[in-house]
Structure 1
Amino acid sequence: SYFNDLLPSPNQNEQNGFVAERAVNDLKGLVNIGPKVTGSDENEVLAIEYIMKVISDIKKTAASIHKLEVDLQQVSGSFSIGALGLHYNNLQNIIVKLGPRNNSSLLINCHFDTVPTSPGASDDGLNCAVMLEVLRVISSSKKPLTYGIIFLFNGAEENPLLASHGFITQHKWAKEIKAFINLESCGAGGREVLFQSGPNCSWVVDAYTEAVKHPSGNVIGEELFQSGIIPSDTDFRIFRDYGHIPGLDFAHCRDGYVYHTTKDDLNSIIDLPGVIQHTGDNLLSMVLTFTGNNSKLPTLHFVPHQNSIYFDILGFYFFSYSLNTAVLINSAAIVLSLISVLMLWYPSRKLWVFVDLAIRALALLIALALSMIYNLLLAIILDTVTASMTWFTNSFVLVPLYVLPTVVFMALSITLTDLFLLEKKIQFSSENALMQLLPTQTFWALILLVLTIMQIRSAFVLLPFVLLPAVVFILLSLFYEQHNKWVARVIYILSTFFCSIYITYCGIQGLRLFLPITGRAGPTINPDLPIAGLVTLITFCAYSYICSFPAYVRKIERWAKYLMILHAGLTLVLIFSNVGFPFSPNTPQRILITDLTRNSTTPDESLLFVDIWERRGVSVLPKVATLPTVKAFCTNKVPHCGLPWASPKIFMKSAEVSRWLPSTPHDLTHMTRLEVLSNNVTSDNVRTISLKMFGPDHMTLIIHTKYPMLSWSIDDLTPTPVQTTSTGSSYAIRHVHGLETLSWEVTLKFEIKDGDSNEGELKNIHIDFIGHHMHGPMSASLESFIATLPSWVHVTPSLATLRAYKF
């Protein structure tokens, strides 16, 4: 944790380099505007005016050697991400171009819009403030730039990723961009971490390695993020997929509990000047390297491309190399490990050496399996008795809950292996320690071999577990052990400690990321299962080389029994006391409450829809728990219960736990209406429906039909259902506009069956049209209900109107 929080002191010299104080002042101006939801005056007027004024002041102090151009883009378009269709109108981007006129530029991106209720200090105001200061520093410099820099302040990222799409596909400067740097956040401050790179362009990572003063990044994060395990996405995806350019993706990840909440303010960022100085120093160095004389920016498409392995060492050093290089290094480590085993065997040339190694390595594997099984069973039991997430606020709870059993199982496996399988007396000696460390090294060498064959880049984390002990063992055996065997073996033992330190460092980073994510992972997932598995793996890796030493403690079985009694006692305390209560005002429970008026039933009705985002749900909210579930009033006549789900997929997961209660109609229902422009069937059994929609700045169409959808006007791709059930398939289209937009249109084409031509059969296409009011005053019903909730609940409120149609 100490290494994860190291930050530089703010620069006090305003004439030299990045100055955090100026960026802090810019950030305060953005945060003071409040939540900036796309379509609101705060986002479309106040934030635009503020950023444009700061840029105007910067332009006044710019050196005459630089050409500084500013453009305010208003853009409309459509595309799809996965199965979700996206349509947008009149979104706004502020773009600044600095540098010479040529066809090669670097893009730097942040977004100034926020989710409802959030001031967006870290997500993403901090990065916009850093970009403004970098613009200020470079533009006032007397040194000319070799290549251009484009600063994109985009006004619609949270909806999702819309404004960046409008820029990269339509702006006049987009075609000259050769690489990009994307700045994001999933927490509140801390060091910005490199967690995505490429695609297939090692030079961008090499340039980062060369440039930065305070490195922080890990390819493990990239592989996890791209696997879909982390429920989020960034503009990196848009620049990669639609701009076809390589880049780097950074995020501040500390204290993810405040992400997308009212707590994402200046007070939540610990050491705000240090965070900004850290990010600013790195960004300024990267920009100057990317656009300097030795840059490969203009010829990136000619550079041999390959994904990189990259990682930092405790935040002090950063390493990057290609996948081919990784294969060579990993193979060399595996060969060296084999040589060290042969050197142990050679003096006696006895088969028992290999048998001994195999048995001890197998004992490690059994210890891992038993630890994993036990901890996963415990996670299931805790969830069954409604005691999951006891570690959500107090992460130290993970130590007695999941770390302690893993340590006990590992120590006992070594002891029992020695006593009963190998029939050896348990006493400490350098030879006994050596006979346990080499099997551990062999075990990790085999795992490294498998991961290398699978081309998993995260395998680098096991490299020190194999390479360092093997090299030390070989060197000591050749040059020192004949003089002093005991000292040589102690040095070998100490060489394994770095492995424990490094994996613990990586593990803490991972837990800092994943623990807060469980608070928004949905109600159907038992979060204790992945967390128990992750903690077990981290503990096993960190403890694998030193797990043999407790075996030399006298009466180890008695100590193991005492530790398991302690573990059981503390687990009972967590279940039956408030020590394990998961939430607090700073680590809140998240729920979404929508005041909905709908006409999908007869007569029209209004209700408060309470959508649960995590596992504990209503079990900690007695008043909400007494309300009827959404599933209780669902009928097959109305798809998705006629509710404004963010996606039909979410409906499948949340209907049994989400709640509702009657409300009174709000006064915004008149804003949402739909007109049918055309509805016809051609001779080739293709049904075409053209619709025109009027409503607020956030709208959703959910189409449920038994017919395949052939195409839509969103893009040229064949639409993919977001959900398919026995009654048909569901498709979703989300619309967002920034500046006022009167209406938007969409055309849908379906393949119908022969004979489905009479009026009765044609009523097989059900469309829910939803208008979402994501900003502005709340209704009286919504406000009074929220007032009854505890202080540790964060509510994302909205008003909605749902109109249902059949075609």
Structure 2
Amino acid sequence: MIPLLFYVVALAFNLLTTLHDRGYAWSAVIKATQIIPFLYGSYHIYLFVVALVPMQGRSGFASNPDILIAGLVALGTVLSLSFVIPLINTFRRPSTVIFTLLAINAVGMYLATSTQIGFPYRPKTNVQRVSYMAVRNRFYEYDGTLSNDESGYLFNFYDRRMEKPFLGTRVNLTGLQSMTTRCQKHMMCGMPYVRNHQQNRFLPRTEPVVPPGSTTLELVNKTMVNATVARFVFEMTGPPYMSIFFQPYEDVKIVNLSFPGDYLQKPPPYPLAYHIYIVCGKDRSPIVFSIDLMKSDADFEVPVLQLGTSGRWDADKGDAETARFASTFPSFTMVDQWIASYERYIY
């Protein structure tokens, strides 16, 4: 609308001043009046780029911001230059102008795709965000035995390029694993909860991660509410940030919780487990909660519930190996790392 308005103003001025009868004198007025619409359109497209593209990071690597940028730039070109491009035909050799523009475009694409000029990250202006946990995962079976004790780094890549920018750097990502198999095998992928957890990557390490504290879970009481419902009462202690995951077996149903009851009315979609996130302030008293389970045959002497606990320590930078690993990332990376633990129990 704005380019059209300025074009009408320029056209009216040319007609009133008889510039249309003086060769190409009218073209200078049109070019001058299109400067403001061009700047106006460019400003809005730039505003959309700097505002919308960072939002794509919320979708993890599933989104492609380059397509959004290309669409916005194409739209800005059409809106800003729609009344200027026809003026190319007024040149003595318009084909030369067109081929010159195409050549400049080709050179720009080459520089962006084949040289360091097009590398998307810079140490001070546009860093690559890398978020990961140094985790210690332990899996306890129904009889209380420890079946698996593993340590490693759980990566949550915000950028769709994921680990590719680190190829050829000092970061050793040998053995980096997809979470697909783990998510099919374990409740909540057998890891502390991280956003987009099925898209994350896990890097095992041989040296155990030693968290600065511990997250404990104790079965305080187990009673029969009625003939088919049993109540499990637990007590949990740990760091300021904790999570509780629980998932009943196929023939078992959760009928009541000591947490807000509306959570049961909106269960998470399969294969996600129930997740309670707990943040503690000055009051570090143990968290006491209960879960009521219903089983048609009333046999609660067999495994009926998987329950996982997770603790997170944000202020701690970890042991020496964790600090050494963080120091290997290149200067264009902003590392956001913390320490976490995960324990899986079966009741």
TM-score, normalization by structure 2: 0.77
1:659 aligned to which of 172, 197, 203: 203
Which protein is richer in helix relative to its size?
1
Matched, 1:530 2:68: yes
How do 1:445-594 and structure 2 match up within 5 A? 464=2, 468=5, 484=18, 486=20, 497-517=35-55, 521-586=59-124, 587-594=126-133
Structure 2 counterpart SS, 1:511:
helix
Distance (whole Å) between structure 1 residues aligned to residue 42 and residue 183 of structure 2: 51
2:298 aligned to which of 735, 757, 779: 757
Structure 2 counterpart SS, 1:512:
helix
C-alpha distance 503-556 of structure 1, shift in aligned 2 (>3 A) = same
Higher mean displacement: 491-500 or 594-603? 491-500
Structure 2 counterpart SS, 1:757:
coil
C-alpha distance 640-469 of structure 1, shift in aligned 2 (>3 A) = same
Distance (whole Å) between structure 2 residues aligned to residue 641 and residue 660 of structure 1: 15
AA paired with 1:757?
Answer: A
Distance (whole Å) between structure 2 residues aligned to residue 519 and residue 700 of structure 1: 24
The aligned residue for residue 333 of structure 1 is: none
The aligned residue for residue 744 of structure 1 is: 287
Distance (whole Å) between structure 2 residues aligned to residue 471 and residue 712 of structure 1: 69
Matched, 1:790 2:330: yes
Contact (CA 8 Å) 2:134, 2:338: kept in 1 or not? yes
Distance (whole Å) between structure 2 residues aligned to residue 536 and residue 749 of structure 1: 58
Structure 1 counterpart SS, 2:111:
helix
Higher mean displacement: 553-562 or 781-790? 553-562
C-alpha distance 611-747 of structure 1, shift in aligned 2 (>3 A) = same
AA paired with 2:137?
Answer: R
Report how far residue 666 of structure 1 moved: 0.5
Contact (CA 8 Å) 1:522, 1:612: kept in 2 or not? yes
C-alpha distance 760-690 of structure 1, shift in aligned 2 (>3 A) = closer
The aligned residue for residue 215 of structure 2 is: 672
The aligned residue for residue 605 of structure 1 is: 150
How do 1:348-387 and structure 2 match up within 5 A? none
Distance (whole Å) between structure 2 residues aligned to residue 550 and residue 618 of structure 1: 45
Contact (CA 8 Å) 2:209, 2:319: kept in 1 or not? no
Matched, 1:617 2:162: yes
Structure 2 counterpart SS, 1:634:
helix
Contact (CA 8 Å) 1:767, 1:806: kept in 2 or not? yes
Distance (whole Å) between structure 2 residues aligned to residue 708 and residue 560 of structure 1: 70
The aligned residue for residue 692 of structure 1 is: 235
C-alpha distance 628-729 of structure 1, shift in aligned 2 (>3 A) = closer
Structure 1 counterpart SS, 2:189:
helix
The aligned residue for residue 638 of structure 1 is: 186
C-alpha distance 542-791 of structure 1, shift in aligned 2 (>3 A) = same
Contact (CA 8 Å) 1:597, 1:802: kept in 2 or not? yes
C-alpha distance 482-744 of structure 1, shift in aligned 2 (>3 A) = same
Contact (CA 8 Å) 1:674, 1:692: kept in 2 or not? yes
Runs of 5+ in structure 1 lacking a partner? 1-440, 442-463
Contact (CA 8 Å) 2:310, 2:343: kept in 1 or not? yes
The aligned residue for residue 780 of structure 1 is: 320
**Pairwise CA RMSD:** 3.7
Distance (whole Å) between structure 2 residues aligned to residue 505 and residue 788 of structure 1: 39
C-alpha distance 757-580 of structure 1, shift in aligned 2 (>3 A) = farther
Report how far residue 699 of structure 1 moved: 0.8
Contact (CA 8 Å) 2:183, 2:198: kept in 1 or not? no
The aligned residue for residue 177 of structure 2 is: 629
Contact (CA 8 Å) 1:465, 1:499: kept in 2 or not? yes
The aligned residue for residue 278 of structure 2 is: 735
Contact (CA 8 Å) 2:129, 2:159: kept in 1 or not? yes
C-alpha distance 677-573 of structure 1, shift in aligned 2 (>3 A) = same
Distance (whole Å) between structure 2 residues aligned to residue 662 and residue 493 of structure 1: 67
The aligned residue for residue 143 of structure 2 is: none
Distance (whole Å) between structure 2 residues aligned to residue 792 and residue 696 of structure 1: 32
Contact (CA 8 Å) 1:710, 1:718: kept in 2 or not? no
How do 1:74-223 and structure 2 match up within 5 A? none
Contact (CA 8 Å) 1:775, 1:798: kept in 2 or not? yes
Contact (CA 8 Å) 1:465, 1:496: kept in 2 or not? yes
C-alpha distance 483-519 of structure 1, shift in aligned 2 (>3 A) = closer
Runs of 5+ in structure 2 lacking a partner? 141-146
Q: Deviations over 1:570-628 (max 9, x none)?
A: 32333222222222221221212322122126232222333322122211213444333
Matched, 1:702 2:240: no
Distance (whole Å) between structure 2 residues aligned to residue 549 and residue 762 of structure 1: 78
The aligned residue for residue 378 of structure 1 is: none
Distance (whole Å) between structure 2 residues aligned to residue 591 and residue 619 of structure 1: 12
Contact (CA 8 Å) 2:139, 2:344: kept in 1 or not? yes
Percent identity over the alignment? 19
Matched, 1:801 2:325: no
Contact (CA 8 Å) 1:523, 1:654: kept in 2 or not? no
Distance (whole Å) between structure 2 residues aligned to residue 538 and residue 684 of structure 1: 69
Structure 1 counterpart SS, 2:61:
coil
Report how far residue 677 of structure 1 moved: 4.4
Contact (CA 8 Å) 2:127, 2:332: kept in 1 or not? yes
Contact (CA 8 Å) 2:211, 2:318: kept in 1 or not? no
Report how far residue 679 of structure 1 moved: 4.9
Distance (whole Å) between structure 1 residues aligned to residue 211 and residue 85 of structure 2: 66
Contact (CA 8 Å) 1:583, 1:589: kept in 2 or not? yes
Report how far residue 509 of structure 1 moved: 2.3
Q: Deviations over 1:446-489 (max 9, x none)?
A: xxxxxxxxxxxxxxxxxx467x4699599x59xx96785849x8
AA paired with 1:597?
Answer: R
Contact (CA 8 Å) 1:598, 1:606: kept in 2 or not? yes
Report how far residue 782 of structure 1 moved: 0.6
Distance (whole Å) between structure 1 residues aligned to residue 67 and residue 156 of structure 2: 23
AA paired with 2:316?
Answer: G
Contact (CA 8 Å) 1:588, 1:792: kept in 2 or not? yes
Q: Deviations over 1:303-345 (max 9, x none)?
A: xxxxxxxxxxxxxxxxxxxxxxxxxxxxxxxxxxxxxxxxxxx
Distance (whole Å) between structure 2 residues aligned to residue 541 and residue 549 of structure 1: 15
Work out which structure has the larger RCO, using CA pairs closer than 8 Å and 6 or more positions apart in sequence. 2
The aligned residue for residue 144 of structure 2 is: none
Which protein is richer in strand relative to its size?
2
TM-score, normalization by structure 1: 0.36
Report how far residue 711 of structure 1 moved: 6.0
The aligned residue for residue 192 of structure 1 is: none
Report how far residue 568 of structure 1 moved: 2.7
How do 1:260-271 and structure 2 match up within 5 A? none
Structure 1 counterpart SS, 2:300:
coil
